Structure 1
Amino acid sequence: MIMKDRNGWDGKLRVDDESQSERRAVLANPEALEDPDYSDEDALPVEEIGPDEDLLEDEDPNVERLCLRQNQISRIEFPAQLGSTLKELDLYDNLIGHIKGLDHLVNLTSLDLSFNNIKHIKNISQLKLLTDIYFVQNRIATIEGLDDLVHLKNLELGANRIREIQNLDNLKNLEQLWLGKNKITEMKNLSALSNLKILSIQSNRLTSITGLSDLHSLEELYISHNALTSLSGLESNKNLRVLDLSNNQISKLENIAHLSQLEELWASNNQLSSFEEVERELKDKENLETVYFEGNPLQTKSPALYRNKVRLALPQVKQIDATYVRLS
């Protein structure tokens, strides 16, 4: 699973081989990869910052956004005057092990501590204006410490060590929840999230779709790379526009005929074998533009005929796998 950007675990990016070759970076000095003592004599000198130097000394005291990505920051310490103005704090990819030093930053709306060494979510309950939290790729095992953040709209906890979805009942304004690449075995404790529009729970340990019956506002569900064998459990999610089921063990395309708003269905690398099921479940979907069925028996058993058969079954689609369909 690839995280395209800070919007979370995308899955939408499909780049063909030709595009990949065009975009591949070429090293001007490949010997640098083999020689640990290699140095480029023509390179500009690196500016070193002394350990006691104040990074914010010359900064505008009314700063609203502060980004200190990819450094070696291990402890959060900021001047008190930042508390009245700072709204976005980005400490992505550092060495932070504990969430401390944020007490005075009460006007924060966005906090990014992704790619650090955090084990526990705590000491942020006073940040009541937060709408976006990014804690991707840490060591978090338990969802906790969020009860007072009632304005939260986007919560990203992908690539952690979470085994259970819990402690989200107060987050009634939450619209996006990203839990990909954890150790979750069951979708539960989601019923309070009535405004949830996007749920990403890719690369976990799910064997069935459960716990979504109260999520009537859900528009995008990413549940690829699990161990699903069937498509039951989506009866109440009639507003789904994007459904990603790729890399599971689903053998029948069924129980999605009622998803009238469906625009994109990704079902690559399953066990789907019936074009009749494809037509039955999807032909009447007027908004359906994209389908992915590659890696299924649908495609592997008759690769020469596969694309035409999908076009005949679903004449409305504009994209089959990574290929756009030429409109007649």
Structure 2
Amino acid sequence: MSERIPTPQSERDPATTSDATESQDQDGEHHKPRDSKGWDGKLRLDKMTLGDVPRDPRVEVESEPEESDDEGPPPEQLAADEDLLDDVPEDEDEIELVHCKVADMDSLRLERFKQMKRLCLRQNRIEAISIPNTAASTLTEVDLYDNLIAHIKGLEAFTELTSLDLSFNKIKHIKRLNHLTKLKDLYFVQNKISAIENLEGLTNLRQIELGANRVREIEGLETLTGLEELWLGKNKITEIKGLDTLSNLKILSIQSNRLRSITGLEKLSNLEELHISHNLLTDLSGLENNTNLRVIDISANPIEHLTGLKGLTHLTEFWASNCKFNDYAEIEKELRDKEELETVYFEGNPLQRSQPVLYRNKIRLALPQVVQIDATFVKQV
């Protein structure tokens, strides 16, 4: 089973499609997958197996080795006389060159596109951001996912930007962005960022993605009061804190960190989804004030008892694979009163391993309201 990550409003399903395929959202709009695996930048773990057991909370987690900054030989350059945009009309408002070995943005002569709204140069070899200032009044989206950018520079004039994707680059520090006050979506997946900083003024930010970096502490978010989605998976965070002012937060994803307890969520009364799998949690206390939670994923934590969910009457999905639950009666006691509950995952727990043949029927008897147990839909009586 793959770890469940929610599907936001667009192009958010990690389907195993190629770049040539397109996904279609509920509004009928087509979106190209944002990389070769259909992954849009949100951190998603590899598929879990039943052998993916929780970590022992008594064992210290070793840091991953730091990656070398030695990138090998210089990238291959475009031929000076090659114009990759020669056949693109100059009134085109979306410019896209994916996996074209572009190293120098100046060679693209972007100044000719007077109506450019979206610029997508994914999976190239760009080291420096260079966009003509003549596009500043129209450009709203810049996507430079999977390049070789180490420093955020060259965006001083682009105050109309609403979306910026710098995922899969070599960025160590968040700088020179706080003048982009219209930004709504900001992506920094898989960089080398160790501190959340210099985001003051981005009060219109709706979501920020910092998955797969080197962040150890949640900080620098106090002024982002409009934030609805915060993605912090696969970092080195040991404590949830610094979120009290984010009263509009709906989704918090903090899986694959070093958390031993759920803290700091007391003021997040609008929180709807909590993704906290692959940590070191031993209980679920700390959710008492989050009565609007609909989705909880606690998979692959060494949790033995299913308590701490009282008052969460709006739960619709509860993901708890590969934990240490062994008591059907406790599952019934804690979850049967959740009338809106539709989906539960308990595979990989001792109760499933010990009685794999009877397991699904026992869950059905304990929770007759659910329509899906693990990946299987169940008939309603």
The aligned runs of 1:46-65 (5 Å cut-off) are 54-57=107-110, 60-65=113-118
- 1:290 equivalent to 2:343? Answer yes
Q: Give the corresponding residue for 1:228.
A: 281
Residue 286 of structure 1 deviates from its aligned partner by: 1.4
With over 3 angstroms needed to count, the CA separation of the structure-2 counterparts of 1:87 and 1:244, relative to structure 1, is same
- 1:267 equivalent to 2:301? Answer no
Q: Give the corresponding residue for 1:178.
A: 231
With over 3 angstroms needed to count, the CA separation of the structure-2 counterparts of 1:236 and 1:309, relative to structure 1, is same
Alpha-carbon distance in 2 for matches of 1:47, 1:114 = 18
The aligned runs of 1:31-110 (5 Å cut-off) are 54-57=107-110, 60-110=113-163
Q: Give the corresponding residue for 1:301.
A: 354
Q: 1:209 aligns with which of 255, 262, 268?
A: 262
Alpha-carbon distance in 2 for matches of 1:200, 1:310 = 27
Residue 234 of structure 1 deviates from its aligned partner by: 0.4
* Count of residues paired in the alignment: 298
- 1:8 equivalent to 2:48? Answer no
Residue 6 of structure 1 deviates from its aligned partner by: 2.6
Question: Scaled by the length of structure 1, what TM-score is found?
Answer: 0.86
Alpha-carbon distance in 2 for matches of 1:220, 1:318 = 19
Q: Sequence identity, in percent?
A: 57
Q: 2:215 aligns with which of 162, 167, 177?
A: 162
Q: SS of the residue aligned with 1:303?
A: coil
8 Å CA contact retained: 1:9, 1:200: no
Residue 56 of structure 1 deviates from its aligned partner by: 3.8
Alpha-carbon distance in 1 for matches of 2:216, 2:128 = 28
Q: Give the corresponding residue for 2:195.
A: 142
Alpha-carbon distance in 2 for matches of 1:257, 1:112 = 39
8 Å CA contact retained: 1:257, 1:280: no
8 Å CA contact retained: 1:91, 1:114: yes
Runs of 4+ in 1 over 6 A off after TM superposition: 11-15, 46-50
Alpha-carbon distance in 1 for matches of 2:105, 2:253 = 42
Alpha-carbon distance in 2 for matches of 1:9, 1:47 = 25
Structure with larger RCO (C-alpha < 8 A, sep 6+): 2
> What runs of 5+ residues in structure 2 fail to find an aligned partner?
6-13, 15-38, 50-98
Q: Which moved further from structure 2: 52-61 or 123-132?
A: 52-61
8 Å CA contact retained: 2:104, 2:126: no
With over 3 angstroms needed to count, the CA separation of the structure-2 counterparts of 1:80 and 1:246, relative to structure 1, is same
Alpha-carbon distance in 2 for matches of 1:92, 1:228 = 33
Q: Give the corresponding residue for 1:200.
A: 253
Q: Give the corresponding residue for 2:378.
A: 325
Residue 277 of structure 1 deviates from its aligned partner by: 1.0
**Letter matched to residue 303 of structure 1:** P
C-alpha RMSD of matched pairs (Å): 2.2
Q: SS of the residue aligned with 1:309?
A: helix
Q: Which moved further from structure 2: 58-67 or 148-157?
A: 58-67
Q: Give the corresponding residue for 1:28.
A: none
> What runs of 5+ residues in structure 1 fail to find an aligned partner?
16-45
**Letter matched to residue 235 of structure 2:** N
Alpha-carbon distance in 1 for matches of 2:46, 2:345 = 11
Q: SS of the residue aligned with 2:107?
A: coil
**Letter matched to residue 210 of structure 1:** T
Q: SS of the residue aligned with 2:296?
A: strand
8 Å CA contact retained: 1:132, 1:152: yes
**Letter matched to residue 149 of structure 1:** L
Residue 255 of structure 1 deviates from its aligned partner by: 1.2
Q: Give the corresponding residue for 1:43.
A: none
With over 3 angstroms needed to count, the CA separation of the structure-2 counterparts of 1:301 and 1:86, relative to structure 1, is same
Q: SS of the residue aligned with 2:198?
A: coil
With over 3 angstroms needed to count, the CA separation of the structure-2 counterparts of 1:71 and 1:304, relative to structure 1, is same
Residue 285 of structure 1 deviates from its aligned partner by: 1.2
- 1:251 equivalent to 2:285? Answer no
